Structure 1
Amino acid sequence: MYQDKYVFAQLVSFLNRSKFNRIVAKYNGDKYVKHFTCWNQLLSLMFGQLSNRESLRDLIVALDAHHSKSYHLGLGKNISKSSLARANQDRDYHIFEEYAYYLVNEARQKRVADIFKIEGNVYAFDSTTIDLCLSVFWWAKFRKKKGGIKVHTLYDVETQIPAFFHITEASVHDSTAMKEIPYESGSYYIFDRAYNHFKMLFKIHQIGAFYVLRAKKNLQCKMIKWKRRLPKNVLSDVTIELTGFYPKQYYPEHLRLVRYWDPMRCTFLHFKLLTFTRTAGKSSFSSSG
């Protein structure tokens, strides 16, 4: 009787193994390895993620339960807990990081849709905190009795796929990760209030990219020029100059301050959005939408 591949094996067939092998050879990942290769390690971790395993021991128990199918699943020979733990500890993480970014780029290319009708990509950058057990992850101390890490994510709004990740300890401030972002000239970057880092914002301006972020309430600035004809729900649109001692040094050029009323959240709520003003003859990002 005809029997098709297992569902996991069908999912794995979509992966470009030739590309993965080239990355492994680049970092000598399979040097002196006889049985448990980097490919077997990748599939084992994928199996644990897709089957919602909560620990390394839980993953090994699940793999042992499917021992007779491991060859057809592409996992190779029997996998012991010590072999998987040693591989996770000793092998170069750049192998899996580079392959992950390759898969992300492949997925983004398949989901391209020009929904904003503008040149350049639109990104949103934010972070999320993941709690960890402090007795196990002692290096990730966050508070007195709490551990954790922060995952800083650059999200492609158009394709709805994360384009960049950066992991730090939870104690690291959000704005510190701004220097790790691979900025693209002509693209748009959306930040929250925690990213009022004017030195980094000026670098974004210098490479020819755009940004929008929520301004802090205590922003020290001087009004330069007002716009009179405003779109719906836009309370004001002003060109400003920073007057704070350090912000003025970090960002010597003019900014655009937009106050926007959001009827969906609260009747009296308004946002203060900062964008930079481009030189004459070039349009700046509209915050009214």
Structure 2
Amino acid sequence: MFAQLTDFLPTRIFDRIVEKHKGNKHVRTFSCWNQMLCMVFEQLTSRDSMRDLLLSLEAHKSKYYHLGFGSTVSRRNFGNANEKRSYKIFEEFAYVLIEEARKSCYRSDFEINVEGNVYAFDSSTIDLCLSVFWWAEFRKTKGGIKLHTLYDVKTSIPTFLYISNAKMHDVNALDLISYEPGSFYLIDKAYIDFGRLYNLHKQ
């Protein structure tokens, strides 16, 4: 079933992105594709950590090749891949998949009759343990990151995601969005900045 699901992924586009970022340079066994499929498996099976993922994969060791994980998956090669490879490979591919999902999930039965797209923009603060995630300092005794999300209300699919330090003010995230003429953007009071809103108006 897992192999059937991953057959829908556009491998040629992924290969072009990997080539662009030289993700498979000096790689012998555990390619970017193998790494990505392991992360997909991790999400679909709700694994909580790399140790949890590897224990789960161990049960399918005889099927590694057919599942697309490569000849072997170890904590060492998976950890090295996560540490050394550019996150931009997976970020770019995620936006390709989001665009494909938006095309296939477009709904014409939206309650309000508007021609443009309708987006909601907000952020969520994710608390982290400061002793483990020391780089995510938020307050003296608290760690965290902030997930900024632009959500397509018509299709119920996020179209833009950005992870920042939790100290970043929400309004600064407005500078990261590419605005579509004729679309509607829903924001709350945390995003009121007249200079930025004027910039949005000009676009």
Give the shorter-chain TM-score range.
over 0.9
Is 2:85 the partner of 1:53?
no
Which AA in structure 2 matches 1:74? G
Alpha-carbon deviation of 1:35?
0.7
CA distance in 2, matches of 1:46, 1:125: 26
Equivalent runs, 1:106-145 vs 2, <5 Å: 106-114=100-108, 115=110, 116-145=112-141
TM-score (norm 1): 0.68
Where is the helix percentage greater, Structure 1 or Structure 2?
Answer: 2
Equivalent runs, 1:242-261 vs 2, <5 Å: none
Which AA in structure 2 matches 1:132? L
CA distance in 1, matches of 2:50, 2:129: 15
Which AA in structure 2 matches 1:191? I
1:41 matched residue in structure 2: 35
Alpha-carbon deviation of 1:174?
0.9
1:176 matched residue in structure 2: 172
Equivalent runs, 1:197-216 vs 2, <5 Å: 197-207=193-203
CA distance in 2, matches of 1:77, 1:58: 20
Identity percentage over the alignment?
A: 54
**In the alignment, which of 187, 190, 212 is matched to residue 186 of structure 2?**
190
CA distance in 2, matches of 1:12, 1:39: 11
CA distance in 1, matches of 2:103, 2:34: 27
CA distance in 2, matches of 1:111, 1:57: 35
Equivalent runs, 1:272-287 vs 2, <5 Å: none
CA distance in 1, matches of 2:106, 2:43: 27
Contact 2:29 2:72 in 1 (8 A): no
Q: SS at 1:127's partner residue?
A: strand
Is 2:49 the partner of 1:26?
no
CA distance in 2, matches of 1:123, 1:179: 16
The superposition leaves residues 1-34 of structure 1 with CA deviations (integer Å, 9 ceiling, x where unpaired) of xxxxxx1111111111111111111111111111
Gaps of 5+ in 1: 1-6, 208-289
Is 2:152 the partner of 1:156?
yes
TM-score (norm 2): 0.96
Q: SS at 2:135's partner residue?
A: helix
CA RMSD in angstroms, aligned pairs only: 1.0
Gaps of 5+ in 2: none
Which AA in structure 1 matches 2:42? G
Is 2:58 the partner of 1:64?
yes
CA distance in 2, matches of 1:10, 1:146: 42
What is the count of residue pairs matched by the alignment?
201
Which AA in structure 1 matches 2:98? V
Q: SS at 2:41's partner residue?
A: helix
Alpha-carbon deviation of 1:119?
2.5
Contact 1:64 1:78 in 2 (8 A): no
**In the alignment, which of 5, 19, 36 is matched to residue 11 of structure 1?**
5
Alpha-carbon deviation of 1:68?
0.8
Which AA in structure 2 matches 1:180? L
Alpha-carbon deviation of 1:91?
0.5
Q: SS at 1:153's partner residue?
A: strand
